[in-house]
Amino acid sequence: MPESILNLLKSSDSFVSGQDISSILGVTRAAVWKKILGLRKKGFVIEAVPSKGYRLISSPDLAADYLLPLVKGALWKELIVHDSVESTNDLAMSLAAKKGITAGTVLVADRQTRGKGRLGRRWESPGGTNIYMSLVIRPELAPRDVTMLTVLAAVAGARTIQETGNIPVTIKWPNDLVISDKKLGGILTEVRADPDRINLAVIGIGINVNMLSADFPEELRGIATSVRLEAGHAVSRNEIILQLLKEFEHWYGILIAKGRKPLLAAWRKDSSTLGKTVRIAIGDQTVSGVAEDIDENGMLVITMQTGERRHISAGDITFVR
Ligand code: BTN
């Protein structure tokens, strides 16, 4: 029920009477009051005036009660916000292994104690400021299409931050969200798959939202940034999550209905990698050349100095100036 009360309060700029809430939801006024108290405990600021009713003043910056009713639908079924977990990706995978997890679940954490980045790196995950989320889906895709899920999340993430922060975020292949070559977010996709089918995909997304320079460890200050630092003001994590889930659902629908082409075109439009001279470290090998394109499998197409073209599936990329 708190979801429904919240929806009623959110849809009105002024007071909604206790009488109206109780008759619309078919519950007693005492039950309405109890739920209002519950919402206040979760950080919602709700004004109560005896002759007028209730008015929503503000919502907590990160709240499942706020988000779930707005995203629940064809793709998203559950949204759970944890205060602290080791890693939202690991939690999703272990829930899947132990008791199963509903496809369409979104796990969000305020903080991670063992946040994981790509290539076994650590993902800086302090509390109260950023987004750490894992999207759990059971896609109608073959294992070779898994890169497309990372491409999809990168496009959804870039579009979301461009709109909510009004800042020119781009995608640095394969999975970085960057602005002026400073990293603002990253994606880590993990799957459980049979040879011909992805059983479960966990798409982990980390976005630095409201971190200030001093909040970053010193070694990251020159190479990482946040939405707040770039936009010049704090941004609501709820709004970014909401928008990101909508964008993801939109592009997922397009991928399933129309194939990869529209998604790859969107990726190209937001890419800061294409046309650049790059150096890519792949294990202990390095490949240099001009990044020409992204192919149908999400691989980066490089033309090397010799004129040879290579399709690269993963690696650490540096722009050569
Ligand atoms: C990268 O750019 O290296 C990928 C970073 C992915 C970080 C996110 S935060 C939520 C999810 N849980 C994790 O442990 N990692 C991903």
pLDDT of residue 1: 46
Distance CA 82, CA 64 (A): 9
Gap from CA of 26 to ligand 1 centroid (Å): 43
- Closest residue by Cα to atom 7, ligand 1, is 206
To test the ligand 1 pocket, which listed residue (86, 90, 95, 116) has its Cβ within 8 A of the most ligand atoms?
Answer: 116
Query: CA triplet 197, 119, 264: central angle to 5 degrees?
Result: 55
Q: Are strands 105-112 and 78-85 parallel, antiparallel or unpaired?
A: parallel
Taking the centre of ligand 1 as the mean of its atom positions, its distance from the CA of residue 204, in whole angstroms, is 5
Q: Compute the distance between CA of residue 283 and CA of residue 292 in angstroms, rounded to an integer.
A: 22
Of 65 and 269, the structure prediction assigns the larger pLDDT to 269
Instruction: Encode pLDDT of 75-118 as tens digits.
Output: 999 999 999 999 999 999 999 988 889 999 999 999 999 999 99
**What is the b/e burial string over 86-122, where b = at least 16 CB atoms within 10 angstroms of the residue's CB?**
ebbbbbbbebbeeeebebbbbbbbbbbeebbbbeeee
The model's pTM: 0.89
By most ligand atoms within 8 Å of CB, the mutation choice from 132, 135, 184 for ligand 1 is 132
Distance 115 CA to ligand 1 centre (A): 6
pLDDT for 321 equals 62
Q: What is the mean pLDDT of residues 137-153?
A: 90
Please state, in angstroms and rounded to a whole number, the distance separating the CA atoms of residues 9 and 285.
58
Residue 239: band (very low, low, confident or very high) from pLDDT cuts 50, 70, 90: very high
Q: Give me the count of residues in the chain.
A: 321
Higher-pLDDT residue of 183 and 141 is: 183
Q: Decide if pLDDT at 249 tops 80.
A: yes
pLDDT score for 143: 87
By the 8 A CB rule, do 127 and 110 touch? Answer: yes
What tokens appear for 285 in the block?
Answer: 């090998």
- CA–centroid distance, residue 5 to ligand 1 (Å): 34
Atom of ligand 1 nearest to the CA of 88: 12
Q: Is the pLDDT of residue 180 over 60?
A: yes
Closest-lying ligand 1 atom to the alpha carbon of residue 86: 14
Per the CB < 8 A criterion, the answer to whether 43 and 60 are in contact is yes
**Ligand 1: residues whose CB is within 6 Å?**
87-89, 112, 115-118, 121, 123, 132-134, 175-176, 186-188, 204-206
On the question of pLDDT at 149 being above 70, the answer is yes
Q: 172 pLDDT band (50/70/90 cuts)?
A: very high
User: Residue 39 in contact with residue 24, Cβ under 8 Å?
Assistant: no
> What average pLDDT does this structure show over 55-71?
89
